Chains A and B, each alone.
Chain A
């Protein structure tokens, strides 16, 4: 089976919702029933900086390494069945990722049977000074500050590309498209544009494909995972089925999953995913279009099948979002566990002692943050107001510090263990040892004129 051109529906399956997602999911998606495309989303906001760090240590790295063994497992199947793959696993080094996949394919004797498309052009790091010199200030979307404030600490800078370069790769016959920083939604939208020959100004259709992408971009989070409604009766999460989009040329689509899998496709679960990480729902802005989530109609049309229709879109803006990663400072988090009786009060007392010692040492921190896990770590005072804290059987004291001063953070990490013998009683749980100071790589969102970014598509023949 190959991806159909023309009016027949196209099946796009989600295989990964983030880097670190369930390794079994892609295999189950390509073997559990017919699909045309496998979409795998790897890149969260902070992932690019981790990958950039890896690439700076070894120029052959900088992509999602897990992707290669995962592809090794499914390549023979996707070649056999004509399933195409879109994945932003390339991180800051899509070419190296494509080469690694090509090597695996050759080892599997798939030579002559696989074409890999590589999408680049998102990496702005080498061009940053030129762009800034030409007046592109890359102001922080949250704070309004120009990027020049942190220029010398920038570690990665990538524009979010849309579906277009993937469409280009698919049109040129790519079976597997590996990209750098492409939007999560673009990975799902591109196969639809390609299969249905959608015009690139058909805003309602592009918006529909974008909504489809948003629905499945977090994998099982729309098919029963992390679903609050009726969670205790969620069927067989151990075998949760990852979502599949059955897309039609008119922009309507259905969300389903393979038969015999766990989880559930319901209006409630799909709605939870639709509102996830939502800003203004009337203006979900991507490089491809602006989707209006207030126009979405959902309908349960069968067991584990939700129909999505009515999506309206507006023209894309002339900007691209840019994600910049920069070195911010250091942090460390230490924990100790206090037991009944008065576990909560003991943990509070330990926190006071520790803070007093940090102050006596003259250490300065941008922030000291204390949580009592088991009491207030997730819901803060809202939880404490409804809790009899004196009855708690145990509480974990979790205290973190953040500073631009590395020695201060290092000294903090040495102040936790002494509390076991010289602080409040009934304390345990330090088996993990002294916490390690961690470098903070922070995220700087900005906008850049679209005309400044030229996506590039290359093909690698296996």
Chain B
């Protein structure tokens, strides 16, 4: 994927940190189980995994998707795959056949999560 080396805020940040889109640190795939969307978030390099663990918390993801999901967010760690798995409950307007959403099966919650900004050490 072409990485827009877009450092948000023009690359300047507080306390010597640079804010970057998660898109620069991770890739992702998402799917559905009923009305729950799952997003698997995978570090592009193993050294990014601790940053994901630290910054991309369940609470942070819940804030990111506020108003877009009706239930809580759960997070699971897969250090062996340098990946985190998020369950976004109540994300799919009932899910499956009930949902009126274009993305009734949660396929593109993956890249929606990659819009999240995180603070990176310089």
Chain A interface residues toward B at CB < 8 A? 45-46, 141-142, 226, 228-232, 268, 271-282, 293-298, 310, 328, 331, 333, 367, 369, 371, 373, 377-383, 386, 398, 400-402, 440-443, 445
Chain B interface residues toward A at CB < 8 A? 1-2, 27-36, 38, 40, 42, 44, 64-65, 67-68, 76-83, 85, 87, 93-98, 100-103, 108, 110-112, 115
Inter-chain contact B93/A382, CB cutoff 8 Å: no
CA of A142 to CA of B90, assembled, Å: 10
Closest to B82 in A: A271
CA of A378 to CA of B34, assembled, Å: 18
Closest to B89 in A: A142
Inter-chain contact B97/A442, CB cutoff 8 Å: yes
- A to B contact number (C-beta, < 8 Å): 135
Residues of B near A333 (CB, < 8 A) are 100
Top 7 closest A-B pairs, CB basis? A275-B40, A400-B100, A369-B100, A277-B31, A272-B29, A228-B27, A379-B112
Inter-chain contact B79/A294, CB cutoff 8 Å: yes
Residues of A near B29 (CB, < 8 A) are 226, 228, 272-273, 275-276
Residues of B near A229 (CB, < 8 A) are 1, 27, 44
Known contacts A298-B81, A440-B98, A228 near B28 by CB under 8 Å: yes
Contact of B110 among A228, A274, A310, A380 (CB under 8 A): A228
Closest CB of chain A to B98's CB: distance in Å? 5
CA of A379 to CA of B103, assembled, Å: 9
CA of A382 to CA of B61, assembled, Å: 12
Closest CB of chain A to B30's CB: distance in Å? 8
CA of A282 to CA of B115, assembled, Å: 27
Inter-chain contact A296/B100, CB cutoff 8 Å: no
Closest CB of chain B to A392's CB: distance in Å? 17
Residues of B near A278 (CB, < 8 A) are 31, 38, 40, 76, 85
Inter-chain contact B40/A272, CB cutoff 8 Å: yes
Known contacts A228-B27, A295-B80, A442-B98, A367 near B68 by CB under 8 Å: no
CA of A274 to CA of B29, assembled, Å: 9
Closest to B68 in A: A380
Inter-chain contact A443/B102, CB cutoff 8 Å: no
Known contacts A228-B111, A282-B76, A378-B102, A46 near B27 by CB under 8 Å: no
Inter-chain contact B102/A276, CB cutoff 8 Å: no
Residues of A near B35 (CB, < 8 A) are 142
CA of A349 to CA of B42, assembled, Å: 40
Residues of B near A400 (CB, < 8 A) are 100
Residues of B near A46 (CB, < 8 A) are 96-97
Residues of B near A298 (CB, < 8 A) are 81
Residues of B near A378 (CB, < 8 A) are 102-103, 108, 111-112
Residues of B near A271 (CB, < 8 A) are 40, 42, 81-83
Closest CB of chain A to B101's CB: distance in Å? 7
A-B contact pairs, 11 of them (CB 8 A): A230-B1, A271-B42, A272-B27, A272-B40, A278-B31, A294-B80, A310-B80, A373-B102, A378-B111, A379-B111, A380-B67
Inter-chain contact B102/A371, CB cutoff 8 Å: yes
Residues of A near B38 (CB, < 8 A) are 275-279
CA of A3 to CA of B102, assembled, Å: 44
Inter-chain contact B1/A367, CB cutoff 8 Å: no
CA of A373 to CA of B79, assembled, Å: 37
